[in-house]
Structure 1
Amino acid sequence: MSSLARTALRSYAVAVVVFLVVDLVWLTVVAKDLYDDQLGPLLADPVRPVPAVLFYGLFVAGLVHFVVLPAVERDSVRRAILSGAFFGLVTYATWDLTSLSVIDGFPAALVPIDLAWGAVLSATVSGVTTALVRRSAQTPT
């Protein structure tokens, strides 16, 4: 296996764990009441796990491909954080702004909060993942 492939797999594994931990704390503790209040009857009960797993898997793959690997290559956690924030803003805007335009009654008040969360979440995951992957590459095996 090539060095790039090992770095990509290591990055993906780290990013999945960081993303799940941070986003689940947000969704189940910090913002649970916000989403319940704002989205109410639109929320699935129970949550459908297959689309959630697909989203997490694809989103993290995008972060690793477009943000983490270039940041690791440039040896820049700062770049990971800034690019991660932009990636999160753009991807979360895809959902929020499309929903605002096509779902009658979609709560406009939720949009800036969700966009900010997408940026913060993606910046955090990208920065932490890049730092950990860089550290593991410097640690002798």
Structure 2
Amino acid sequence: MTIIQYLYLYLMTIPAFFIIDIIWLGWIGKDFYKAQIGFLLGPINWSAAIIFYLLYIAGIIIFAVNPALQAGSLGKAVLLGAMFGFFAYATYDLTNLATIKDWPFLVTIVDILWGTVLTGSVATVSYYLGKTFLL
């Protein structure tokens, strides 16, 4: 794929990521996070959040979707996406568990599982988008 095709794939992946993550954060997991870590939450720093999301989505494309498209393997997209999510979310959550007083162990487990599912799902959608519209 050309750099322009990767840019298109990136732009198509952004809404897929946000739709899936909003379902979790805004609906399914919202009350869970408020109950578990509401005492730590403040106003959202949207600049930091947007930068994180844009970088994270680039990581999904680079480390999961690109190798899967090159191999022509949906399974590789799912596996590499899930692994990328697992390691990224584990880094965040285990660091919080190690350094933030009263960080709940349950949040660590649930959030790592969510990151694994989210990223595997987004990598899968992105793989299909790339395979369908760009290859």
TM-score (norm 2): 0.96
Instruction: Indicate whether 1:103 and 2:130 are aligned.
Output: no
Deviation of the 1:85 alpha carbon: 0.3
Residues 38 and 107 in structure 1, CA contact (< 8 A), matched pair in contact too: yes
* Cα displacement (A) at 1:16: 0.9
Structure 1 unaligned segments of length 5 or more: list them.
none
CA distance in 1, matches of 2:123, 2:5: 14
Counterpart in 1 of 2:10? Answer: 12
| Shift of residue 41, structure 1, vs aligned partner | 1.6
Match of 2:45? 48
Aligned-partner SS, 2:134: helix
Among the aligned pairs, what percent are the same residue?
Answer: 35
Amino acid at match of 1:13: L
Give the Cα separation in 2 of the matches to 1:92 and 1:125: 15
Is 1:31–2:29 an aligned residue pair?
yes
1:1-141 counterparts in 2 under 5 A?
Answer: 3-45=1-43, 47-138=44-135
RMSD (Å) for aligned C-alpha atoms: 1.0
Find the aligned partners of 1:4 and 1:78 in 2 and give their Cα distance.
23
Distance 1:57 1:137 in 2: 21
Question: Which AA in structure 2 matches 1:29?
Answer: W
Question: Cα offset for 1:6?
Answer: 2.2
Whether the 8 Å contact between 1:93 and 1:115 is mirrored in structure 2 is yes
Q: 1:137: how far off?
A: 2.7
Q: TM-score, normalised by structure 1?
A: 0.92
Q: Cα distance, 1:121 vs. partner?
A: 0.3
**Alignment-mate amino acid for residue 110 of structure 2:** I
Q: What SS does the aligned partner of 2:2 have? A: helix
